[in-house]
Structure 1
Amino acid sequence: MRQAVAGLDTPYPIGSLLPAVFQEDPLAMRWTAALDEVIAPAISTLDCLAAYLDPRLAPADFVRWLAGWLGTVLDENWPLHRQRAAVAHSVRLYRLRGTAEGLRALIELVTGGEVELVENGGVHWSTAPDSALPGEPTARLTVRVTVPKGEPVDVAALEELIVAEKPAHVPHGLEVVER
């Protein structure tokens, strides 16, 4: 149940909307003032709805709720600025999901570092039939993350993230380097 917020007045007092006969009644005015106090937070929220839907401005608990709306999983251990960035970029990251660019962007967002992906595949075209295929016959991926010195990185969580985002048949290696 929503609680009244001390000092928060409503811009739309109910008592002023009543007919004059009720505005002269002290009981009716006290009763509507009590209602004003209770619904003032809801009115304030609705008046500021655009800010609540912007992950850069929303209250911390609402950022996690926005993440749920978008299907984004946030790590509770991340600092608030990183959680806000994850929600703000989630639509772009969904669009890039399954690509090397998407994996790189996601890892950069999670770690705050620079990411280098080394893969052995490739794309090539040729006008000559039976030309050599690019890359190597066995797939593999190396993820190298360079983070600022002293910046903590949860390697186990990063491993889980890479496993969830890369193609299942591609083995990977992870290197975390401090600069």
Structure 2
Amino acid sequence: MRGTTTELETPYPLGSLLPAVLQEDELLMRFTAAVDLLLAPAINTVDCLAAYVDPGLAPPDHLGWLAGWVGAELNETWPLETQRAAIQQAVHLHRGRGTVEGMRLQLALVLGADVRITDSGGVTWSVEPVDDLADDRPALVEVVARSNSLRVAEVEAAVDAAKPAHVAHSVRVESVSGGM
């Protein structure tokens, strides 16, 4: 079945690296050609290593591995371009983690929708150490996603993943009107 398989060519044939006197030995040249066939996939992979670590070029089956390097959470149901964008923006998204703007960016990327977030402002500070904080309001985030194709359950799951664990939230999905 030799005609049905494709053989990878090596960019560095071992036989051509031998001294001329050894290149005259037919058995040795056949042996080095066989070794070339074994080494060609490894050499080509190393030559293309930059493509494997570029989220825009990496093969789809390598995206999960690449996401692990940058701490990006991927959902296999997301479109391929959304997965690539999540990996490319992972560092930027990690910088904003826990902030309203960081959460808005993450939700907009994951949901593919216009997202508005209102924060209760449940943060306080004091120059003096105190036991009783003046503002006891619980932290609350209200999320409004504008889309005709999203369901509340999808938005709930995305908000749960994006917000700090101690923050309560409410979610609303609004339809987008046809004309602007």
TM-score, normalised to structure 1, is: 0.79
Q: Which residue of 2 aligns with 1:33?
A: 33
Q: Which residue of 1 aligns with 2:161?
A: 164
Q: 2:103·2:163 contact (CA, 8 Å) conserved in 1?
A: yes
Q: 2:151·2:173 contact (CA, 8 Å) conserved in 1?
A: no
Q: Which residue of 2 aligns with 1:10?
A: 10
| Residue 112 (structure 2) pairs with residue 115 (structure 1) | no
Shift of 1:60: 0.7
Give 1:1-179 correspondences, 5 Å limit: 6-121=6-121, 137-147=137-147, 149=148, 151=149, 153=150, 155-179=152-176
Look up the equivalent residue of 1:178 and give its one-letter code: S
Identity of aligned residues (%): 51
**1:173/1:36 CA distance change after superposition, 3 Å:** same
| Per-residue Cα deviation, 1:60-80 (whole angstroms, up to 9, x for no partner) | 111221011122221111111
Structure 2: stretches of 5+ with no match in the other structure: 125-133
Shift of 1:50: 1.6
Q: Which residue of 1 aligns with 2:128?
A: none
Mapped partners of 1:22, 1:146: distance in 2 = 72
Q: 2:122·2:140 contact (CA, 8 Å) conserved in 1?
A: no
| Per-residue Cα deviation, 1:95-146 (whole angstroms, up to 9, x for no partner) | 111111111111111111111001222789xxxxxxxx89x93432111111
Mapped partners of 1:22, 1:84: distance in 2 = 49
TM-score, normalised to structure 2, is: 0.79
Mapped partners of 2:27, 2:165: distance in 1 = 69
Alignment RMSD (CA, Å): 2.5
Shift of 1:89: 0.6
| SS at structure 1 position matched to 2:89 | helix
